[in-house]
Structure formats: structure tokens, C-alpha cells
Amino acid sequence: MAEVLKVDVITLFPQMLAGFLGESMMKRASEAGLVEFRLINPRDFTTDKHNTTDDRPFGGGPGMLMKPEPLFAAVESVHTPQSHVILMTPSGKTFEQADARRLSIVHSHLIFICGHYEGVDERVREALVDEEISIGDYVLTNGVLSAVVIIDAVARLRPGVLGGGEIATEDESFSSGLLEHPQYTRPPEFRGMKVPEILFSGDHGKIAQWRHDQAVQRTMERRIDLLENERENSKNNP
């Protein structure tokens, strides 16, 4: 049996994750013992009567910063030598499919720190964090939503998580450097729109070529940057 992927999420808003973890693929993966989730609230590690987790930044400025003490205590309560700590932040590396595959293969324990307010005290970055990740060039109210994106992308690549009609393959968008080709299912005709005849031919070679050509065309139309990146990679890795 595949090694269990352990995922700890440190957040002030654990209930935001309840629906996500209790439905569909994540629920099945958890029940099957393939992924183990724990939600950790930094407020549980505060020492004052108000359970304070934030304070004003030194030097002035807008907003509040998450204090280091509760975050250090929360991370250290679950950290092991196998842990990989990820801070969700707009200033991190932009997440890609290659990162999802790397995280799913290399690590067995992921700890997500979900910031809030104006972010976290810099000492959290310096002493606790192994990797900083962003899901795009925009700002959210907190890091939970972005952590959900990473967890979903990583967990689905773990052995046994997907099954039946939900098999993760190299044909998926971004796995091969191209967007995914068009896909069709029954009925063969719907409101005058017909499935391409090539898909009924039974000629797997021709079908594979059609799918590749369609993927290239779609990528050129929608994400030409992916093709340019692929050419650059090929040039650097002959």
C-alpha cells in the first residue's frame, strides 16, 4: 500500500476547509487511509486571555501581522524530520503542475501555514518555512483558499487517490507542456453538434495524432507562453 500523505493546515479559519475535506475525492482519500488531514488553529497556542494572534507592525503601516509565537508553537506541535513547511503568500513562487508532481512524490508530510491580515512576522519565514508558494498574482483575504488549491492538485497525484473514471494521466493539461485536447462522450450528436468522426475510427494511432494536433492548436490559441517555455527548455536541455 502507498505511503500515507499527511497534510497539516495551520489556519485561523479551520471551518473554511470543512466542506472541501468532507466531500468528493478528499473524503474518499481520507476514508481509504491514503491522505491524513489535520487542521490546527494558532489560537489554541496563544497564552493570553484574549487568544491574540496578531499585532501592529513595528515601524507603522496599515493592517495587522500574525505574531510569531502562536505560529511557531503550532508548527512545532506537528513538525517531524520528514515535514515540509509551505507558506502560502503572494510573494512566493507561482504554483505549477510540475510543483504538484514534485510535492506528491518527494514529500510524505506537508505543513501549510495560511497567513491572514497583512501576512506573518518575517521570523516565521526565516526559521520555519521551507518553501513559499503563490497561486497567482492577486491577493486573497487569507491563505486557506490557496492552500486548498495546492492540496487538491497534490493529493490527486498520490497513488490510489483517483480511481474508476478519474484517472490522472499525462494527457492532462500542463502535464506534457500543452493544454489538454478536446474530449467528448455520449451522445454522438447533441443539438446539431457532432463528435469528430476520427474518434469513431478505431485507429488509435490516428486518434493519438489528432489529439496531439488539437492540443497544440488549443495551446497556441490560449497559452502560447507554454509553447515558448517548452522550446526554451528543449534548447537548454538538448
Look up the CATH number of the domain holding residue 106: 3.40.1280.10
The domain of 228 spans: 169-238
| Domain match, 175 and 92 both | no
Inside any domain, residue 163: no
For residues 126 and 180, membership in a common domain is answered with no
Annotated ligand binding at 163? The verdict is no
Last residue of a domain, one of 155, 185, 206: 155
Q: Is 139 annotated as a binding residue?
A: yes
Confidence of residue 234 (pLDDT cuts 50, 70, 90): low
Instruction: Give domain status of residue 164, yes or no.
Output: no
- The three grid cell numbers given for residue 131, joined into one nine-digit string: 518553501
User: Do 60 and 119 lie in a common domain?
Assistant: yes
Q: What is the pLDDT of residue 175?
A: 54
**Same structural domain, 62 and 104:** yes
Could you tell me if 173 and 117 lie in one domain? no
Q: What is the pLDDT of residue 103?
A: 97
Tell me: do 37 and 86 sit in the same domain: yes
Same domain flag for 17 and 78: yes
Report the pLDDT averaged over residues 97-101: 95
In DSSP terms, 133 is beta-bridged to: 93
Q: Is 140 annotated as a binding residue?
A: yes
pLDDT score, position 118: 84
Q: Is the pTM of this model over 0.75?
A: yes
Higher pLDDT, 167 or 125: 125
Whether 174 and 90 share a structural domain = no
Instruction: Tell me, yes or no, whether 15 and 80 share the same domain.
Output: yes
233 sits in the region (left: phi over 0; alpha: psi -120 to 50; else beta) called alpha
**Grid cell for residue 196:** 469528430
Q: Are residues 126 and 213 in the same domain?
A: no
pLDDT value at residue 227: 82
Collect all residues with Cβ–Cβ distance below 8 Å to 64 and sequence separation of at least 6.
54, 55, 56, 57, 117, 118
Annotated binding-site residue? 113: no
Rounded to the nearest 5 degrees, what angle is found at the Cα of 134, between the Cα atoms of 131 and 136? 160
Q: What is the pLDDT of residue 174?
A: 52
Which pLDDT score is estimated for 167? 45
Name 120's bridge partners.
66
What is the mean predicted confidence (pLDDT) over 42-58? 95
Is 177 annotated to bind a ligand? Reply is no
Percent of the chain whose pLDDT exceeds 70: 89
Q: Rounded mean pLDDT of 55-67?
A: 92
> What's residue 181's pLDDT?
87
Number of domains in the chain: 2
Instruction: Return the higher-pLDDT residue of 61 and 171.
Output: 61
**Residue whose C-alpha cell is 500542463:** 174
Does one domain contain both 173 and 126? no
Asked whether residue 123 falls in the same domain as residue 234, the answer is no
Residues 9-29 pLDDT 10s: 999 999 999 889 999 999 999
105-109, 118-122, 163-167 — which is least confidently predicted? Answer: 163-167
Please check the confidence at residue 199 and state whether its pLDDT lies above 60.
yes
